Amino acid sequence: MEFVRSHILVCAGTGCSAAKSMEIIERFEEHLSRHALEKEAKVIRTGCFGLCELGPIVVVYPEGSFYSRVTPDDVKRIVEEHILKGRIVKDLLYHETVEEDVVSSINETGFYKKQLRIALRNCGIIDPENIDEYIAFDGYSALARALTEQTGDEIVDIITKSGLRGRGGAGFPTGRKWMFAKAAAGDEKYVACNADEGDPGAFMDRSILEGDPHSVIEAMIIAGYAVGAKNGIIYIRAEYPIAVARLEVAIGQAREYGFLGKNIFGTDFEFDLEIRLGAGAFVCGEETALIASVEGLRGEPRPRPPFPAVKGIFGKPTLLNNVETYANIPWILQNGWEAMAEIGTETSKGTKVFALGGKITNTGLVEIAMGTTLREIVEEIGGGCPGGKKFKAAQTGGPSGGCIPASHLDTPIDYESLSAIGSMMGSGGLIVMDEDNCMVDIAKYFLDFTVEESCGKCVPCRIGTRRMYQMLERITEGKATMEELDSLKELCEHIKANSLCALGGSAPNPVLSTITHFREEYEAHVRDRRCPAGVCKKLLTYKILDNCRGCTACARVCPVGAISGKVKELHVIDQDKCIKCDACFEKCKFGSIIKE
Amino acid sequence: MKSLEELKAIRERTRGQMNLRKEDGPDNTRIVVGMATCGIAAGAKPVLSAAVDQVGRRKLDHVVVTQTGCIGMCMYEPIVEIYVPGQEKVTYVKMTPERMEKIVAEHIVNGQIVGEYTIGANE
């Protein structure tokens, strides 16, 4: 790599790419060459910086200037001012880094200060398509040491002692999983990576693969060595095109450097990787369904045991871990198991990546030490709910998890405490809801997802989730009785107990947790035929108050002609005609229209 | 990839450049070139390029090259300031690419301030 005095890092993750970061890169190259700076400053595509809300992100080194919401038109100024004359363009910087005209480090801002980046250690720092940059940050050194100095047993032992648990959601101890796969009989084994990230709003795995694909590849080779496997398979959904492309580039480079193939590091060990694309079915994130899909069969789960460690892909012993779990492995081997065991709580060690979404100021990707409280994530890192709205609940674990109310905001994040309050760690989606969200509607939304994604193999899930959905629909329409609320709970327990796989087994969680924590909201829907948050349309009535000025704006915007009245006189809504489209409510400038 | 040495060689080769992306540490030596309008008009751009070129060739991983604005002594431009940790700042004036090369070699590599180019000698 030639020496330059400045590096311009542009986020090329999915979020920022969608916000024109590719065009920004082109503009940079164009303006740099116009000022003959191309030999002094280099544009580098990186992975996700995490602060997706403020993308596209551009960071200029050596100053470490963090530019946010950059548009292609801003590039000219950055080049002419910052790169050419050394004058940081302060008004384009992330506002949190500028206080009274003084620029502070990005690591001092609320969003980054509380984070601890292990799985995301290289994201937003290296060029994911340049293996040398990964190596420069100690990449593949854990592999080198493993192959030349350590035995498989030693490696499994280190992973076990580190306390690492599966980051895909269930939290099974990773070391134990490796031990089982290692102990399984047979000379042909598989090491597989579950990159079938399907929770709505979750994009941790995608960002790791886009920002640091080599960390996963290195971990899989180490896993292959530790458990005695020659073949690796990464199962990733086809709707992650950037991640797939980066993985392909990375695998190609790893082969070229001899990290994949025969005689790795001059030893007898051989290992190779291939990518299998999934069509995006949620159930294929379940391990037995994933294995079926890899084999070319329909993505349906099967009962366990036998567990994949004994009988997995093509009937061979298979070690299957999630992307984020793998991304932790090289770090543990480089820094020792003690380093990870020091971080976190009694039962949950290390860090967890969360995709923050919903009603939160800093939408994006964060990595925090286990034991950090939900309040710290939502209020300090996430910056709270926008518009001064009141926080109502946080949903973790996607369609398998539950809602955590404000009263539990001080719960430390770890596998056990989240389960204890009726949610789960899950893969790391964290959706924040404010006072404008109806909890019954949220539960219905997640159930709608599960109904769509149920594979249909077992009855409790196929029919049960649909019945649950119908019951929720009746509640949101004000047709349900209090007895139905009880039978809904009963059905939930039944589905939980009898489903074949975790998809069905966890599908009732969003309903159960909202009934537990927000029962009064369910009762308001059922008993009072009222939606307190004003979301469920069928339960809303639009009314015009006496302070109506008779401006006729509402009558003109109403698509069904339900509003009548003369100019400068009180208008009236015909409730029989009203379709509750909200158009009049949004149009009224005088706050004369209310919904209740 | 046959050996640890090979891996180490790649790491060392790339790491120097990557240091640029760490937060500017207190241990870094800084070469600061005045790149305001006055500096550019007096020929600061080739001086800056020479600094970058020299630092790159000599693999000086601990050296950062940056720019600054006008410090009010336009008649002395191009001006280059060198900050070595723990030492007083040294200001060089009326710089040329040739002078820059010499300063990198003598001041930064050998620790000998080039007295004749400093502001004190030119006042």
Rounded to whole angstroms, how far apart are CA atoms A373 and A394? 12
**Contacting residues of B for A9, CB less than 8 Å apart:** 21
Confidence of residue A432 (pLDDT cuts 50, 70, 90): very high
Task: Specify the DSSP element, H or E, that contains A404.
Answer: strand A402-405
CA-to-CA distance for A319 and A226, rounded, in angstroms? 11
Same-domain status, A398 and A429: yes
The predicted pLDDT at position B13 comes to 82
| Residue B91, amino acid | T
Of A102-106, A261-265, A381-385, the range with the lowest mean pLDDT is: A102-106
| Residue A168 and residue A91 in one domain | no
- Hey, CA dihedral for A123, A125, A130, A133, is it positive or negative? negative
Q: Which of A284-298, A356-370, A533-547 bottoms out in mean pLDDT, i.e. has the lowest?
A: A533-547
The verdict on residue A119 lying in a domain is no
CB proximity under 8 Å: A 66-85 to B: 84-85
Q: State the pLDDT confidence band at B114, using cuts at 50, 70 and 90.
A: very high
Identify the domain boundary among A394, A415, A434: A434
Residue A205 lies in a domain: yes
For A115-123, what is the mean pLDDT? 94
A3 CB near a chain B CB, below 8 Å?
A: yes
- In whole angstroms, give the CA distance from residue A595 to residue B4: 70
Contact B67 A86 (CB under 8 A): yes
Q: pLDDT tens, A191-224?
A: 999 999 988 889 999 999 999 999 999 999 999 9
Same domain, A195 and A313: yes
B70 touches chain A (CB under 8 A): no
What pLDDT score does A2 carry? 67
Task: Give B31-50 pLDDT, tens digit per residue.
Answer: 999 988 888 899 998 999 89
Confidence of residue B25 (pLDDT cuts 50, 70, 90): low
Q: What is the mean pLDDT of residues A325-347?
A: 96
Query: To the nearest whole number, what is the mean pLDDT of chain B?
Result: 87
- The answer for residues whose C-beta is within 8 angstroms of residue B38's C-beta and 6 or more apart is B70, B74, B77
A390: which DSSP letter? P
A12 has a chain B CB within 8 A of its CB: no
Q: Which of A318, A340, A362 is the last residue of a domain?
A: A340
Q: CA-nearest residue of chain A to B41?
A: A85
Answer yes or no: is A333 within a domain: yes
Domain B28-122 architecture: 3-Layer(aba) Sandwich (3.40)
> Looking at the domain assignment, is residue A240 inside a domain?
yes
Q: What pLDDT, on a 0 to 100 scale, did the predictor assign at position B23?
A: 60
Nearest to B7 among A85, A107, A140 (CB): A140
Q: Are residues A303 and A408 located together in one domain of the fold?
A: no
Distance CA A364, CA A366 (A): 7
Judged by CB atoms closer than 8 Å, whether chains meet at A61 and B20 is answered as yes
Residues A146 and A281 in one domain: yes
Tokens of A478: 């004000």
Chain A: closest CA distance from residue B100 (Å): 15
**Closest Cα of chain B to A65: distance in Å?**
10
**Contact between chains at B56 and A1 (C-beta distance less than 8 A):** no
Region A72-99: mean pLDDT is: 91
CB A434 within 8 A of CB A392: yes
Contacts of B63 in chain A (CB under 8 A): none
* Nearest residue of A to residue B4, measured between CA atoms: A144
Q: What is the pLDDT of residues A474-528, one digit of tens each?
A: 999 999 999 999 999 999 999 999 999 999 999 999 999 999 999 999 999 999 9
Under the banding of pLDDT at 50, 70 and 90, the label for residue A1 is low
Looking at the structure, do residues A402 and A507 belong to the same domain, yes or no? no
Report the number of distinct structural domains present in chain A: 5
| Domain co-membership, A135 together with A225 | yes
For residue A6, pLDDT beyond 60: yes
Asked if residue A238 belongs to a domain, the reply is yes
- The residues in A 434-453 lying below 8 A from B, measured between CB atoms, are none
Mean pLDDT, all residues of chain A: 93
Cβ neighbours of A110 (radius 10 Å)? 16
Q: What is the pLDDT of residues A234-258, one digit of tens each?
A: 999 999 999 999 999 999 999 999 9
Angle of helix A509-517 relative to helix A519-526, nearest 10 degrees, comes to 90
pLDDT tens for A533-549 read 989 988 988 989 999 99
The pLDDT of B63-81, averaged and rounded, is: 88
Q: Name the percent of chain A lying above pLDDT 70.
A: 100
Do A414 and A445 fall within a single domain? no
Query: Can you give the residue range of the structural domain that contains A294?
Result: 131-340
- Which one, of A282, A320, A278, A283, lies nearest residue A295 by Cα? A278
Q: Does B27 touch chain A (CB under 8 A)?
A: no
In a domain, A535, yes or no: no
Helices (H), A336-386: 337-341, 374-375
- Domain of A286, CATH number, reads 3.40.50.11540
State whether ipTM is beyond 0.85. Answer: no
**Using the beta-carbon criterion (under 8 Å), do B67 and A64 form an inter-chain contact?**
no
For residues A227 and A181, the answer to whether their CB atoms sit within 8 Å is: yes
Q: Residue A148: inside a domain, yes or no?
A: yes
> If 0-12 CB within 10 Å is exposed, 13-18 middle and 19+ buried, where does residue A39 land?
middle
Using an 8 Å Cβ cutoff, are B17 and B55 in contact? no
A387: alpha, beta or left, given left = phi > 0 and alpha = psi -120 to 50? left
Residues A561 and A574: their CA atoms lie apart, in Å, by 9
Q: Do B68 and A9 touch (CB under 8 A)?
A: no
Q: Give B20's DSSP letter.
A: G
Tokens for A68, please give them.
């946010």
- Interface membership of B10 toward A (CB under 8 Å): yes
With a cut of 80, say whether residue A108 has pLDDT above it. Answer: yes
Inter-chain CB pairs, A–B, below 8 Å: 100
Q: How far, in Å, CA of A504 to CA of A487, rounded?
A: 18
Tokens of A581: 């489209």
* Nearest-by-CA chain B residue for A134: B11
Predicted structure pTM score? 0.89
- Under 8 Å CB-to-CB from A347, ≥6 apart: which residues? A414, A415, A416
The pLDDT tens digits for A447-463 are 999 999 999 999 999 99
Q: Are residues A177 and A300 located together in one domain of the fold?
A: yes
How close B24 comes to chain A (CA, Å)? 6
State the pLDDT at residue A221. 98
| Per-domain boundaries in chain B | 28-122
Query: A589 and chain B: CB distance < 8 Å anywhere?
Result: no
Q: Report if residue A118 sits inside a domain.
A: no
Residue B116 C-alpha, separation from nearest chain A C-alpha, in angstroms: 27
Residue A30 in this model has a pLDDT that exceeds 80: yes
